[in-house]
Amino acid sequence: MSLEPTSPASPRSTPAFLKEMKQRGEKIAVLTAYDYPTARLLDESGIEVLLVGDSVGMVVLGYPDTTHVTIEEMVHHTRAASRGTKRALVVADLPFATYTMPKQAVVNARRLIEAGAHAVKLEGGRDQSEQIAAIVAEGIPVMAHLGMLPQSVKIEGGYKIKGKTPVEAEKLLDDAKAVQQAGAFAVVLELVKTEVAAQITALLAIPTIGIGSGPDCDGQVLVSHDLIGLFPWFTPKFVKPHGHVAEQIRASASAFIADTKRPGEPRI
């Protein structure tokens, strides 16, 4: 039995393909993956984009937030996830404090590409324009990230909806224009007020990928663990789980424990 992913039913997704999807009005589906079997299953399901997110720090590594994730950990998980894909565009997060300067951003973006990613993602708007432009100049596609920025959670004091005031909305619109001008091929909008996310989506030529930002974005992204109920200790309010894997794991483990402790031959 081969461990190679099955041949894709269609060519691999690319940044240009995602832009074409936006132009056609076709929604873009994005899910996170941090390991080979999850990436392979999602790839075989037809997902357009797999995000090796720094959310791995919370749902896999047990950190309190994403700021603890290192570039070495992102390289490790990117290698694993990329091995499981043949169709999806693999985007890997640049973790906290790894792109403070353009040269540093380029070096770490290259590391993720060498690990198997096809593109990288970083958080920030106009303040990250130089970093985005520098990475793109190296031939590496960049996905931007606006709204609630998980890597800034300690500074901002929590996970809050963005764009609730005219000043915030104007800044988001300006940041969106700035990342597009810098060369980003898409932008994640996290916890952005629905009306503002719709304005940004209409304004930009590049796709917007929403998470908790309403239905009008060009696509949606979720942490896979939230989607399938694999991280039951916390589920964001905007998530509608489509599975309850944690319950199945507990039930299977309980059955195994019972079989093991039952007198006679364990039935396993």
Catalytic residue annotation: 190
Alpha carbon 170 to its chain's center? 25
Question: How many Å is the maximal CA-CA distance in the chain?
Answer: 71
Q: Using an 8 Å Cβ cutoff, are 246 and 255 in contact?
A: no
Rounded CA separation 30/267 (Å): 40
Kindly write down the DSSP assignment for every residue of the chain, as one continuous string: ---SPPPPSSPPP-HHHHHHHHHHT--EEEEE--SHHHHHHHHHHT-SEEEE-TTHHHHTS--SSGGG--HHHHHHHHHHHHTT-SSSEEEEEPPTTS-SSHHHHHHHHHHHHHTT-SEEE--BSGGGHHHHHHHHHTT--EEEEEES-GGGHHHHTS---B--SHHHHHHHHHHHHHHHHHT-SEEEEESB-HHHHHHHHHH-SS-EEEESS-TTSSEEEE-HHHHHT--TT---TT---S--HHHHHHHHHHHHHHHHHSSSS---
